[in-house]
Amino acid sequence: MQARAYSQEITLTREWIASHGGVYVKKRPGITENPYLEDISSVRTRITDQDQESYILKNPAMATREISEMGLENRIFSFHITSLKPINPQNKPDAFEAESLREFQDGIQKETFQLETGGQNPVLRYMIPLHVTESCLQCHAELLERRRRLHLCPRRGDGRGLFWHAGQWTAGRQLRPMHRQ
């Protein structure tokens, strides 16, 4: 299935980026820093080379968002990172995503599907859990600890407070943009 293949590809891309501590891209107009990384002491969000050129860190979440935007512009696919307790308010789950997250958390499902037929083109929504790995902890360990101290996140390992990945694809590769509530 095409949805699984896209999910595997973006998951591998995210793992590769995380395993290298992120990827730096040259600062140009329109290239922005991830504001959620600025307060993490172990992360350098901007570096400068010997020619005084600036580079901005792209972490897996930002790379996924930007790849999704490119996929949407080209009418191929769209991804959405979500969580029941998102750090970024843009990652708040919709009803389908929230139910899927609860099913993942409870061990009921390993993937979920939903076919939306109400629009011009049918949309297949596919969602899988995105588990925190050791390479994720460069950024997420400090964030999780802060949230734990504020009682916003339980201890790691109980299936909550992790980030999940959702994508949606349409039949015939024609994408309908995501509608957020």
Alpha-helical regions (H) of 35-76:
60-73
* Domain 2-20+60-173 is found in CATH 3.30.450: yes
Examine the pLDDT at 179 and tell me if it is beyond 80: no
How many angstroms separate the first and last alpha carbons of the chain? 28
**Which DSSP category does 130 fall into?**
-
Measured at the CA of 91, the angle between CA 23 and CA 180, to 5 degrees, comes to 125
pLDDT tens digit string along 18-28? 889 899 999 99
The β-bridge partners of 23 are 58
Instruction: Yes or no: say if 51 and 41 are a contact pair by the CB < 8 Å rule.
Output: no
pLDDT at 144: 65
Q: What is the mean pLDDT of residues 145-154?
A: 55
Q: In which residue are the tokens 């101290």 written?
A: 149
Token digits of residue 69: 């935007």
pLDDT tens digit string along 48-62? 999 999 999 999 888
Q: What is the mean pLDDT of residues 124-145?
A: 76
Q: What is the mean pLDDT of residues 137-157?
A: 59
pLDDT tens digit string along 78-132? 888 888 878 788 888 889 989 988 888 888 888 888 888 887 778 888 888 887 7
pTM for the whole structure: 0.72
pLDDT at 28: 95
pLDDT at 11: 87
- CA 121/CA 168 separation, integer angstroms: 12
Collect contacts of 13-16 with beta carbons under 8 A, ≥24 apart.
Answer: 13/60, 13/63, 13/64, 13/67, 14/60, 14/63, 14/64, 14/130, 14/165, 15/60, 15/133, 15/135
